[in-house]
C-alpha cells in the first residue's frame, strides 16, 4: 500500500504560482493620448496567499486588479491564472470593490448572493439558495437575507459583496480597497473578519490598498509599487503580522521600512495628487506617519 501511495505522489516539489503577472504594462488611450498606468509589473501569487498590491494613489493598483479580473487587457505582458491566460472576466475571479453601490438595489441580499451562482450555471436554484444562506451567515448577516441593500449600512453591504464573491468559491478573490470607505472601527472589524474567513476557507486573495497598516494586517506578502506609472519597488513578507501585532515594535519597524522603500530616505513623495475619492487617506508620507502614530 505504502509503495503504491508513494507512486502517486507527483514528482514536483515546488509549487506553481496560481496567478502569474508578467511584465504587465497597462495603458489608457483617450483622444489620441496614451496614459501609462503600470510599467512592466511582474509578480506571482500562490494558492492560499493573501497578496497585497500597495502603493500611492494613481500608481495603477486598481488597474492591475482590473487586469487580473479580465476587465482591462494589458498593452504588453500577460496575466495567467492556473496556467490559462486571462482574456476576460470569469467566475473563477470574483471581485469586491470599494463602492457601496456594487449590489443591484432591486435584489435582496439573498438574491444578490445567488445571482452569480445562477448566472454562471455553477448551481441550480436550490443549491444556490443553500450556498447563499451559508455565506450570508458566515459574514454575520443572519436575519438579513430578505433585506434590500438600501436598508443596510456600508459595512453590511461590503459583507454582502464578500459573501457573493466567496459563494462562488473563486480561484482568486480580488479586492480593491473594500474597506476604505468605512469608518475606522468598522474597517478594523472587517479586516479581522476577513482574516477569520480566510482561516476557515483558505481562499487566494489579491488585495489592493494604499494603507501600509492595512497591507501589513491583511497580507502575507506585499508588492510595493512606485508612484505613477507603477513599477515594482520591492516585495516583502508580512505573514507575521495581524491586528494584534499592529501596535508592536516589529510592526512599526516594518511600517517604517515600507515607507522608506516607497518614498526614499527623505520621505519625499513624488507621486501624483491623491485620488479625490481617497479623501486624505492616500498613502502620502503624512498619512503614513499618522497611521503609524495611530497604532502607537
Ligand atoms: N478608465 C480610465 N481611463 C483613463 N485613465 C485611467 C482610467 N483608469 C485609471 N486611469 C489612470 O491610470 C492611472 C492609474 O489609476 P488607478 O486607478 O489604477 O490607480 P490606483 O493606484 O488604484 O489609485 P487609487 O489609490 O487612487 O485608487 C491614473 O493616472 C489614472 O488616472
Ligand atoms: Mg484604486
pLDDT digits (tens, 9 = 90+) for 211-229: 999 999 999 999 999 999 9
CB atoms within 10 A of CB 155: 19
On whether the CB atoms of residues 289 and 274 are closer than 8 A, the answer is: no
User: Which grid coordinates are listed for 269?
Assistant: 513623495
Comparing 26 with 6, the larger pLDDT belongs to 26
In a domain, 200, yes or no: no
In a domain, 255, yes or no: no
Residue 88: predicted pLDDT: 96
233 pLDDT more than 90: yes
149 pLDDT more than 50: yes
In a domain, 191, yes or no: no
pTM of the model: 0.86
Which residues in 31-104 belong to E strands, given as ranges?
33-45, 50-54, 76-81, 84-85, 93-96
| C-alpha–C-alpha distance, residues 7 and 1, integer Å | 10
Residue 290: predicted pLDDT: 37
Confidence of residue 270 (pLDDT cuts 50, 70, 90): very low
* Ligand nearest to the Cα of 37, by number: 1
* Ligand nearest to the Cα of 278, by number: 1
In a domain, 1, yes or no: no
3 pLDDT more than 70: no
- Give every CB contact of residue 228 below 8 A, 6+ residues apart in sequence: 37, 56, 58, 59, 60, 271, 272
In a domain, 3, yes or no: no
Write down the H helix ranges in 168-248. 184-201, 212-218
User: Which grid coordinates are listed for 189?
Assistant: 472589524
In a domain, 54, yes or no: no
* Ligand nearest to the Cα of 282, by number: 1
Domain extent at residue 162: 104-169
With a pLDDT cut of 90, the percent of the chain lying above it is 80
In a domain, 165, yes or no: yes
For ligand 1, say whether the CB of 217 is within 6 Å of any of its atoms: no
| C-alpha–C-alpha distance, residues 70 and 181, integer Å | 24
Confidence of residue 247 (pLDDT cuts 50, 70, 90): confident
Residues with C-beta atoms within 5 A of ion ligand 2: 62
Instruction: Please count the structural domains in the chain.
Output: 1
In a domain, 113, yes or no: yes
3-class secondary structure, 238: coil
Q: Which of 28, 29, 181, 229 has the most ligand 1 atoms within 8 A of CB, as the residue to mutate?
A: 28
For ligand 1, say whether the CB of 35 is within 6 Å of any of its atoms: yes
Residue 26: predicted pLDDT: 98
In sequence order, what are the beta bridge partners of 84?
A: 81
For ligand 1, say whether the CB of 211 is within 6 Å of any of its atoms: no
| C-alpha–C-alpha distance, residues 9 and 200, integer Å | 26
For ligand 1, say whether the CB of 58 is within 6 Å of any of its atoms: yes
Residue 282: predicted pLDDT: 36
Write down the H helix ranges in the chain. 2-8, 61-69, 109-119, 125-138, 154-167, 184-201, 212-218, 249-263, 285-295
Residue 142: predicted pLDDT: 94
Question: Ligand 2 mean position to 4 CA, how many Å?
Answer: 51
Least reliable range by pLDDT among 56-65, 171-180, 259-268, 279-288: 279-288
| Mean pLDDT along residues 49-77 | 97
| C-alpha–C-alpha distance, residues 225 and 270, integer Å | 13
The secondary element (H helix, E strand) that includes residue 207 is strand 205-209
Amino acid at each position: 500500500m505504502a509503495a503504491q501511495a508513494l507512486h502517486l505522489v507527483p514528482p514536483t516539489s515546488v509549487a506553481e504560482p496560481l496567478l502569474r503577472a508578467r511584465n504587465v504594462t497597462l495603458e489608457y488611450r483617450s483622444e489620441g493620448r496614451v496614459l501609462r498606468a503600470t510599467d512592466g509589473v511582474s509578480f506571482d501569487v500562490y494558492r492560499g496567499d493573501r497578496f497585497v498590491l500597495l502603493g500611492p494613489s494613481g500608481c495603477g493598483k486598481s488597474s492591475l486588479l482590473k487586469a487580473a479580473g479580465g476587465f482591462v487587457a494589458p498593452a504588453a505582458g500577460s496575466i495567467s491564472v492556473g496556467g490559462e491566460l486571462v482574456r476576460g472576466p470569469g467566475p473563477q475571479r470574483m471581485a469586491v470593490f470599494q463602492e457601496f453601490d456594487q449590489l443591484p438595489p432591486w435584489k435582496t441580499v439573498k438574491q444578490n448572493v445567488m445571482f452569480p451562482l445562477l448566472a454562471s450555471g455553477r448551481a441550480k436554484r436550490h443549491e444556490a439558495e443553500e450556498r447563499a444562506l451559508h455565506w450570508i451567515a458566515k459574514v454575520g448577516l443572519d436575519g438579513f437575507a430578505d433585506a434590500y441593500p438600501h436598508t443596510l449600512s456600508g459595512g453590511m453591504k461590503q459583507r454582502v459583496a464578500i459573501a457573493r464573491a466567496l459563494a462562488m468559491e473563486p480561484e482568486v478573490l480580488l479586492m480593491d480597497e473594500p474597506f476604505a470607505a468605512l469608518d475606522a472601527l468598522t474597517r478594523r472589524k472587517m479586516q479581522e473578519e476577513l482574516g477569520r474567513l480566510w482561516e476557515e476557507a483558505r481562499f487566494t486573495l489579491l488585495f489592493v490598498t494604499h494603507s501600509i497598516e492595512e497591507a501589513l494586517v491583511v497580507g502575507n506578502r506585499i508588492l510595493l509599487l512606485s508612484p505613477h506609472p507603477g513599477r515594482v519597488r520591492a516585495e516583502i513578507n508580512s505573514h507575521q503580522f495581524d491586528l494584534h501585532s499592529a501596535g508592536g515594535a516589529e510592526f512599526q519597524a516594518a511600517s517604517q521600512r515600507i515607507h522608506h522603500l516607497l518614498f526614499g530616505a527623505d520621505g519625499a513623495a513624488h507621486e501624483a495628487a491623491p485620488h479625490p475619492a481617497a479623501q486624505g487617506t492616500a498613502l502620502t508620507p503624512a498619512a503614513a506617519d499618522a497611521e503609524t502614530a495611530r497604532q502607537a
